[in-house]
């Protein structure tokens, strides 16, 4: 076995934003504990900016969070699985993965596609959860970790601990600083005594999406209280953000951000209000106060973690990952006043900064 001080580790977590942010505390803990290891990551290209932290000397390491990235365009491959382009890209990925000569692969996704990618490495040690998200993925793991943590961040730490042999603890993950994006964010939200709030109305599917008109009511009330409000619009969600800003008479600002820009604008706010979606988890990863509006997904597993937070979820809501188009019934019982009260508690407590 290779000297553990020179371990070569591959992380497989393809996407999406929130899931990568949930995996990052475990990988940050590995880097902090073992700064000499080579740590590479397989990811979908659109999320690679989340893994670009490259100077962490002030945090006790001169190594980047990730040494190298392998890009896997799995979303595109699914659209044309037998095309010459797809086959060529998969063969290239396999060649590059094998060239990495990894000592261990950790699968923090638990899907068949992530497990297959791990198998492509030819690595003899592939570690994943005993009960992954897709049970068939476990057939491709050579080692299984029976996780006991409730939250996915805790579960990922348990898998990483099995690799390191050390007891790893969760902390805020390392995230990149992009000077160009930081200058852009400073123009949008210059230093001010007025608190700043980021609202994200979108979600991965309709059942998780709280009504946009209620977000508009919250945004209007916050601007009337002297807050600066910015509204993030993910791809295809521009109309949602515009509707909220129109409801404030233009007082709120709609933004269409790159990943790097979203990181920098979130650094400049004190509070994030959103459903179960990537920008909410980004707020947590940056230590911001968050108000999470949850419906069919379970906040004990996928909710805010590691920063001041308040979760609103109806007792009527039940865990359901079916991608229904309409908002879940329990989610609709949460009113704008409920969210506003949660936000105001942060304002009054001083945790909102």
- Supply the DSSP string of 194-253, one letter for each residue: S-EEEEE---SSGGG---HHHHHHHHHHHHHTT-EEEEE--TT-HHHHHHHHHHTTT-SE
Residue 352 has a pLDDT of 52
Instruction: Tell whether omega for the bond before 16 is within 30 degrees of 0, i.e. cis.
Output: yes
Give the ranges where the chain is alpha helix by DSSP (H).
17-33, 74-79, 84-99, 112-120, 152-164, 179-188, 212-224, 238-247, 259-267, 278-285, 299-302, 336-349
Q: What percent of the chain has pLDDT above 70?
A: 94
pLDDT band for position 5 (cuts 50, 70, 90):
low
283 vs 204 pLDDT, higher one: 283
pLDDT digits over 203-248, tens only? 988 899 999 999 999 999 999 999 999 999 988 999 999 999 999 9
Residue 24 has a pLDDT of 96
Out of 12-21, 70-79, 319-328, least confident range: 319-328
Q: How far is it, in rounded angstroms, from Cα 214 to Cα 189?
A: 24
Mean pLDDT calculated for residue range 61-68: 75
Contact residues for 246 (Cβ-Cβ < 8 A; gap 6+)? 216
Mean pLDDT calculated for residue range 306-325: 92
At the topology level, CATH places domain 179-349 in: Rossmann fold (3.40.50)
pLDDT reading at 52 higher than 60? yes
User: 129 is written with which tokens?
Assistant: 């959860």
Residue 4 has a pLDDT of 63
Radius of gyration over every alpha carbon of the chain, rounded to an integer in angstroms: 21
pLDDT reading at 60 higher than 80? no
Residue 165 has a pLDDT of 85
Mean pLDDT estimate for the chain = 92
Residue 80 has a pLDDT of 95
pLDDT reading at 57 higher than 90? no
φ, ψ for residue 324, nearest 5 deg: -70, 150
Residue 53 has a pLDDT of 80
Mean pLDDT calculated for residue range 182-194: 94
Residue 350 has a pLDDT of 60
pLDDT band for position 1 (cuts 50, 70, 90):
very low
Mean pLDDT calculated for residue range 122-149: 96
pLDDT reading at 349 higher than 80? no
Please state the CATH superfamily assignment of the domain spanning residues 4-164 in this structure: Glycogen Phosphorylase B; (3.40.50.2000)
Check the CA dihedral 67-22-17-270 and report its sign.
negative
pLDDT digits over 24-49, tens only? 999 999 998 998 999 999 999 999 99
Q: Domain limits of the chain?
A: 4-164, 179-349
Out of 136-150, 167-181, 272-286, 327-341, least confident range: 167-181
CA 187 to each of CA 3, 192, 259, 271, 338: distance values in angstroms, whole numbers, following the listed order: 49, 12, 17, 19, 32
pLDDT reading at 62 higher than 70? no
Mean pLDDT calculated for residue range 315-327: 89
Residue 348 has a pLDDT of 77
Residue 56 has a pLDDT of 46
């Amino acid at each position: 076995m290779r000297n553990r001080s020179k371990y070569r580790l591959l992380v497989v977590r393809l996407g999406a934003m929130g899931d990568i942010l949930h995996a990052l505390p475990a990988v940050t803990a590995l880097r902090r504990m073992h700064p000499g290891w080579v740590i590479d990551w397989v990811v979908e290209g659109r999320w690679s900016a989340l893994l670009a932290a490259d100077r962490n000397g002030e945090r006790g390491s001169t190594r980047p969070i990730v040494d190298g990235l392998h890009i896997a365009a799995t979303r595109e491959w699914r659209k044309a699985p037998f095309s010459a382009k797809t086959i060529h890209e998969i063969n290239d990925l396999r060649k590059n993965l094998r060239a990495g000569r990894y000592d261990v692969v950790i699968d923090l996704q638990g899907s068949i596609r992530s497990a297959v990618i791990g198998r492509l490495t030819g690595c003899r040690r592939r570690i994943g959860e005993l009960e992954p998200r897709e049970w068939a993925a476990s057939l491709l793991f050579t080692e299984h970790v029976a996780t006991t943590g409730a939250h996915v961040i805790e579960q990922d730490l348990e898998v990483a601990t099995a690799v390191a042999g050390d007891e790893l603890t969760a902390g805020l993950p390392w995230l990149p600083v992009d000077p160009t994006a930081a200058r852009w964010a400073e123009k949008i939200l210059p230093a001010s005594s007025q608190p700043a709030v980021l609202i994200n109305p979108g979600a991965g599917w309709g059942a998780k999406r709280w009504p946009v008109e209620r977000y508009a009511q919250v945004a209007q009330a916050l601007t009337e209280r002297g807050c600066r409000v910015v509204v993030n619009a993910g791809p295809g969600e521009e109309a949602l953000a515009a509707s909220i800003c129109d409801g404030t008479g233009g007082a709120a600002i709609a933004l269409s951000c790159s990943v790097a820009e979203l990181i920098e604008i979130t650094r400049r706010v004190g509070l994030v209000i959103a459903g179960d979606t990537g920008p909410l988890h980004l707020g947590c990863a940056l230590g911001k106060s968050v108000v999470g509006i949850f419906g069919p997904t379970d906040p004990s597993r996928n909710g805010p973690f590691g920063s001041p937070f308040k979760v609103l979820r109806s007792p009527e809501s039940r865990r359901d990952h079916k991608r229904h188009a309409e908002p879940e019934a329990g989610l609709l019982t949460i009113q704008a006043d409920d969210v506003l009260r949660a936000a105001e508690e942060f304002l009054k407590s001083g945790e909102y900064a």
